[in-house]
């Protein structure tokens, strides 16, 4: 059968018109910042508690505040990192008591929803957006974490029920090597900017921009270095943001940094911060008063969990009180997650000796060294 000569170009023109209609043409991005608020100077407070145990090995906690004010945490746990029984666990803190952890993402459930083989799952990130609670987590079909793909799920009822996970298409080569560790930032157009990273061949931070309806509409490399990963981002105003990144080179390293001056459209590598980083995850939070807070490890190992504060948008840093410090170099207090809740309390969740997740809650008075 021979087609009329005019038919293929006509079909092509119809298809290209439909594709152009579908193609996003987003506005220039701008960060959305909560208004700065004066901090209430309450007496210094600092308290810690272990989250309930979900499995023998736990790692990579993430925090979010639910609309009703409860604190939510998620982390991955199983017999060991990368094991087939690892699940993403979820618990909430209500009136000072953590709920029993519930598995909200499993290897089997992810494979069933995506109709794709999954060998292991890992790093979760929670983010509360109005009544919606987002969960992103990574999954791997073959190989190590460098082969990760990104999955997304949403809860509309505070984490009880979740939509089936959807695998995001973020890489052209087998859709591998997009990982996450830190929460997204809200954008002025209703979308989100999610700090991500790439590990296959080169290690580098990435910035995924989502539209208000959840589509990926841009992907930007944060820095052109080949040894940075796990970015954590704080917006300084509508256009400026600072990203800190794990130094993926051999220890002792320093916390790497990148900045954006145009709402996340472009990121440029800046000088490393004068803060140590032993190739370990770091977290950064912009406090309500505008100060920046970083949580990370000491120079050589993960046996110290430290805090630093900047009063000048990241130009200079000073140490805050130490959260954990032991002489045993093999001890691990790592992968911090930071969140400031609406009541002004600052929450820190971190991996505690790989045996569980520890939660610390403190206020700015404690950060400033005031006596409890």
Partner 1 sequence: MSATALYGFVAHGIVFGAFIMLLPLGDRRRMLAFAAIPVALATGIASFMHGFAGTPSLTLLALAVWQLISIKPAPLTCRPALILLAFAIPFYAMALGLGPLDPYASGYQPLPLLAASLPLAALLWWRRLDNWLLILALALAGYASGIFANLFDVLFDPLLVLVALTVVIRHHARRVPNDG
Q: What is the C-alpha to C-alpha distance for residues 323 and 328, in angstroms, rounded to an integer?
A: 15
Tell whether residue 174 is a contact of partner 1 (CB under 8 A). yes
Tell whether residue 130 is a contact of partner 1 (CB under 8 A). no
Residue 130 is encoded by which pair of tokens?
């109005």
Which of 36, 28, 37, 34 shows the shortest CA–CA distance to 261?
28
Tell whether residue 105 is a contact of partner 1 (CB under 8 A). no
Which of 342, 254, 260 shows the shortest CA–CA distance to 298?
254
Question: Residue 30 Cβ, how far from partner 1 at the closest point, in Å?
Answer: 17
Tell whether residue 266 is a contact of partner 1 (CB under 8 A). no
Tell whether residue 3 is a contact of partner 1 (CB under 8 A). yes
Question: Residue 180 Cβ, how far from partner 1 at the closest point, in Å?
Answer: 17
Tell whether residue 201 is a contact of partner 1 (CB under 8 A). yes
| Residue span binding partner 1 (CB under 8 A) among the ranges 24-32, 39-47, 79-87, 320-328 | 24-32
| 3-state SS record for 193-215 | EEEEEECCCCEEEEEEEECCCCC
| Residue span binding partner 1 (CB under 8 A) among the ranges 31-39, 59-67, 197-205, 341-349 | 197-205
Question: Residue 288 Cβ, how far from partner 1 at the closest point, in Å?
Answer: 33
Report the half-sphere exposure of 157 (CA within 13 A, side-chain side).
5
Residue 29 is encoded by which pair of tokens?
């991005």
Which of 215, 217, 143 shows the shortest CA–CA distance to 179?
143
Contact by Cβ (8 Å): 276, 254: yes
Among residues 213 and 271, whose Cβ is nearest to partner 1?
A: 213
| Residue span binding partner 1 (CB under 8 A) among the ranges 20-28, 130-138, 251-259, 346-354 | 20-28
The sign one gets for the Cα dihedral 262, 268, 272, 278 is positive
Question: Residue 109 Cβ, how far from partner 1 at the closest point, in Å?
Answer: 11
Tell whether residue 1 is a contact of partner 1 (CB under 8 A). no
Tell whether residue 168 is a contact of partner 1 (CB under 8 A). yes
Among residues 161 and 318, whose Cβ is nearest to partner 1?
A: 161
Contact by Cβ (8 Å): 62, 126: yes
Q: Indicate which single residue of 79, 169, 300, 322 sits in contact with partner 1 (rule: CB under 8 A).
A: 169
Question: Per DSSP, what are the bridge partners of residue 225?
Answer: none
Q: What is the C-alpha to C-alpha distance for residues 44 and 361, in angstroms, rounded to an integer?
A: 11
Contact by Cβ (8 Å): 168, 105: no
| Other C-beta atoms lying within 10 Å of the C-beta of residue 195 | 27
Tell whether residue 315 is a contact of partner 1 (CB under 8 A). no
Question: Residue 6 Cβ, how far from partner 1 at the closest point, in Å?
Answer: 10
Q: Which of residues 317-356 bind partner 1 (CB under 8 A)?
A: none
Tell whether residue 38 is a contact of partner 1 (CB under 8 A). no
Tell whether residue 226 is a contact of partner 1 (CB under 8 A). yes
Residue 252 is encoded by which pair of tokens?
């002792």
Question: Residue 152 Cβ, how far from partner 1 at the closest point, in Å?
Answer: 10
Among residues 219 and 240, whose Cβ is nearest to partner 1?
A: 219
Question: Residue 165 Cβ, how far from partner 1 at the closest point, in Å?
Answer: 9
Q: Under 8 Å CB-to-CB from 317, ≥6 apart: which residues? A: 273, 274, 275, 294, 308, 309, 310
Q: Indicate which single residue of 19, 38, 97, 327 sits in contact with partner 1 (rule: CB under 8 A).
A: 19
User: How many amino acids of this chain bind partner 1 (CB under 8 A)?
Assistant: 55
H/E stretch holding 21 reads helix 7-22
Q: List residues binding partner 1 (CB under 8 A).
A: 3, 8-9, 11-12, 14-16, 18-26, 111-119, 141-142, 149, 164, 166-169, 171-177, 198, 200-202, 204, 215-221, 224, 226
């Amino acid at each position: 059968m021979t087609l009329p000569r005019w038919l293929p170009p006509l079909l092509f023109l119809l298809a290209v018109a439909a594709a152009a209609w579908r193609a996003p043409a987003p506005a220039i991005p701008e960060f959305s910042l909560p208004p700065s608020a004066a901090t209430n100077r309450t007496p210094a407070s600092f308290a810690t508690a272990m989250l309930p145990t979900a499995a023998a090995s736990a790692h990579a906690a993430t925090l979010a505040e639910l609309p009703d004010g409860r604190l939510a945490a998620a982390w991955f746990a199983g017999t060991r990192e990368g094991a087939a029984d690892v699940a993403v666990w979820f618990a909430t803190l209500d009136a000072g008591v953590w709920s029993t952890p519930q598995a909200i993402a499993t290897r089997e459930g992810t494979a069933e929803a995506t109709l794709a083989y999954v060998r292991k799952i890992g790093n979760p990130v929670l983010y509360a957006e109005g009544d919606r609670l987002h969960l992103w987590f990574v999954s791997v079909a073959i190989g190590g974490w460098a082969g990760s793909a990104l999955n997304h799920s949403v809860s509309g009822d505070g984490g009880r029920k979740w939509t089936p996970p959807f695998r995001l298409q973020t890489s052209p080569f087998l859709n591998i090597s997009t990982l996450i560790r830190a929460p997204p930032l809200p954008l002025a157009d209703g979308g989100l900017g999610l700090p991500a990273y790439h590990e296959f061949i080169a290690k580098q931070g990435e910035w995924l921009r989502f539209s208000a309806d959840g589509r990926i509409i841009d992907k930007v490399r944060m820095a052109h270095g080949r040894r940075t990963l796990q970015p954590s981002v704080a917006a300084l105003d509508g256009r400026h943001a600072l990203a800190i990144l794990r130094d993926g080179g051999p220890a002792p390293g320093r916390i790497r940094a990148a900045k954006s001056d145009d709402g996340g459209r472009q990121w440029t590598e800046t000088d490393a911060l004068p803060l140590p980083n032993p190739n370990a995850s770091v977290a950064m939070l912009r406090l309500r008063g505008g100060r920046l807070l970083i949580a990370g490890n000491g120079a050589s190992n993960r046996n110290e969990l430290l805090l630093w504060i900047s009063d000048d948008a990241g130009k200079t840093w000073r140490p805050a009180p130490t959260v954990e410090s032991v002489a045993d170099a093999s001890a691990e207090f790592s992968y911090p997650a930071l969140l400031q809740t609406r009541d002004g309390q600052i929450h820190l969740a971190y991996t505690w000796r790989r045996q569980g997740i520890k939660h610390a809650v403190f206020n700015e008075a404690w950060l400033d060294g005031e006596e409890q």
